[in-house]
Amino acid sequence: MFDNLQEKFDRAFQILKGHGSITEVNVGDTLKEVRKALLDADVDYKTAKEFTQRVKEEALGREVLTSLKPGQLLVKITHEELTKLMGEAAADFRVQGKPAVILLAGLQGAGKTTHAGKLAKLIEDQFKKKVLLVACDVHRPAAVDQLKVVGESVGVDVYAEPGVLDAPGIAERGLAHAKSSGHQAVIIDTAGRLAIDEDMMREIDLVKAVAKPTETLFVVDSMTGQDAVRTAATFNERLDFDGVILTKLDGDTRGGAALSIHSVVGKPIKFVGVGEKMDALEVFHPNRMAERILGMGDVVSLVERAQQVIDEKEAARLESKIRKNKFDLEDFLQQIQQLKKMGNLKDLMSMIPGMSKALKGIDIDDNTFKQVECIIQSMTPEERANPGIINPARKQRIARGSGKDIQDINRLLKQFEDMRKMMHTMTNGAGGKRSRAAGLSALRR
């Protein structure tokens, strides 16, 4: 995410290298490149212009007060301004009301139905509330079926009236159903519509009037170009929405919309969709996003994601095993499986400061893990607990079982052994979290 923007920013800041101070001229050249990078990332034209203007003023004004090098200073200012642009603090998301009603709206193909499912899962998991999905997309063929499938995959109830074309009516009855059946939150999925389609906008006005949502969220594809802010503004005029869900941020999108919408429309981005899996929905933190854009990493999010998937007790058990040097292949397998739950590997690694530059151009394949899993799963429980007993005959059997070469088995065993040694030395000083990172880098080879 944001790879492209990051790279260009880097190049822009290079211009300042070797300069002793920030001057009108050198900062001008740098910011010209920054502006180009922003426009290439689909940041709104005016926003980009104003942004670079502000950075320039700040940079020239602050020059004498600091001992930072010009490059560093400019990165710092850019970071501050980026954060401001995206809305400073993370916006609140409340699931209040009896039931809480969340209305999703947006253009066609933005990802409303999928994100209705993701949001439902997030509310059930993190807010511990029972959710009902209401299918008000009566226009797109099979949209209702899609919501049902999505609902089923996250284990959330779906209220639908197949064949009925009256969206406000469905919303009303869906809400009544939620009340009588004890659902604490309702998410209303609506049809995609163009902001200039008067009939459709009237329909959603009606849905809103009937449903009285506690949160109205505008769903927008992060790959949208210059039209993103215009569309968001038009929707906002009609619906006065509370926040934005930015979808498909896992592509190599440059996410310009993330940078422009808040400053143009004045509404916060609340969530970002970062993958196809149903748990790939994150709370949007402007500050962390700015850090990611500038290649500063995002350790906080990484740790948070880890906390979501890692069971504390399990972690304590592992740690004690590592201390006693009893960490075995079975534990290793479990760790890999947990890591996989955290999401796309390259995304994860790029949250480590300095990593994203190192990763540039390297294609990290999530299948690396599959190969390791495959080999371990071809071992007997004894072999997993006690890799020492794996002799050539066993190796051959494992190779055959996993469809790999003997060399692959050897390599894995060696990596595992190195990792175990490293973990042991580390845990004598540091805690368990570090060992996880060590496991990661050992895997990368």
Give the interface with another protein as residue ranges (CB under 8 A): 36, 39-42, 45, 107-111, 113, 139-143, 145-150, 153, 194-198, 221, 223-228, 230-231, 234, 248, 250-254, 256, 363, 365, 367
Query: By the 8 A CB rule, do 436 and 338 touch?
Result: no
Smallest gap from Cβ 153 to another protein, in A, equals 8
Which of 176, 194 has the CB closer to another protein? 194
User: Shortest CA distance to 178 belongs to which of 120, 98, 114?
Assistant: 98
Residue 105, phi then psi, degrees to nearest 5: -140, 155
Smallest gap from Cβ 361 to another protein, in A, equals 13
Smallest gap from Cβ 275 to another protein, in A, equals 9
Which of 147, 293 has the CB closer to another protein? 147
User: Shortest CA distance to 127 belongs to which of 214, 210, 246?
Assistant: 214
Smallest gap from Cβ 196 to another protein, in A, equals 6
User: Shortest CA distance to 238 belongs to which of 386, 103, 336, 141?
Assistant: 103
CA 217/CA 208 separation, integer angstroms: 11
Element (H, E) at 411: helix 406-427
Smallest gap from Cβ 282 to another protein, in A, equals 17
Smallest gap from Cβ 417 to another protein, in A, equals 30
- Block residue for tokens 């603090």: 89
Tokens of 350: 């790029």
Which of 78, 260 has the CB closer to another protein? 260
**CA-based torsion, 173, 94, 90, 251: positive or negative:** negative
Which of 41, 122 has the CB closer to another protein? 41
Which of 101, 143 has the CB closer to another protein? 143
336-374 burial: b if 16+ Cβ within 10 Å, else e: bebbeebbbbbbbbbbbeeebeebeeeeeeeeebebbbb
Which of 223, 306 has the CB closer to another protein? 223
For residue 369, the Cα-to-chain-centroid distance in whole angstroms is: 21
Smallest gap from Cβ 250 to another protein, in A, equals 7
Which of 59, 110 has the CB closer to another protein? 110
Query: By the 8 A CB rule, do 185 and 95 touch?
Result: yes
Which of 143, 310 has the CB closer to another protein? 143
Query: By the 8 A CB rule, do 297 and 291 touch?
Result: yes
Which of 42, 408 has the CB closer to another protein? 42
Which of 72, 153 has the CB closer to another protein? 153
Query: By the 8 A CB rule, do 271 and 281 touch?
Result: yes
β-bridge pairing 281-283 and 269-273:
antiparallel
Task: Extract the runs of DSSP E, i.e. beta strands, from 166-222.
Answer: 185-190, 215-221
User: Shortest CA distance to 191 belongs to which of 176, 202, 178?
Assistant: 202
Smallest gap from Cβ 147 to another protein, in A, equals 8
Residues paired with residue 281 on neighbouring β-strands, in sequence order: 273
For residue 192, the Cα-to-chain-centroid distance in whole angstroms is: 23
Smallest gap from Cβ 107 to another protein, in A, equals 7
CA 442/CA 445 separation, integer angstroms: 6
Smallest gap from Cβ 35 to another protein, in A, equals 9
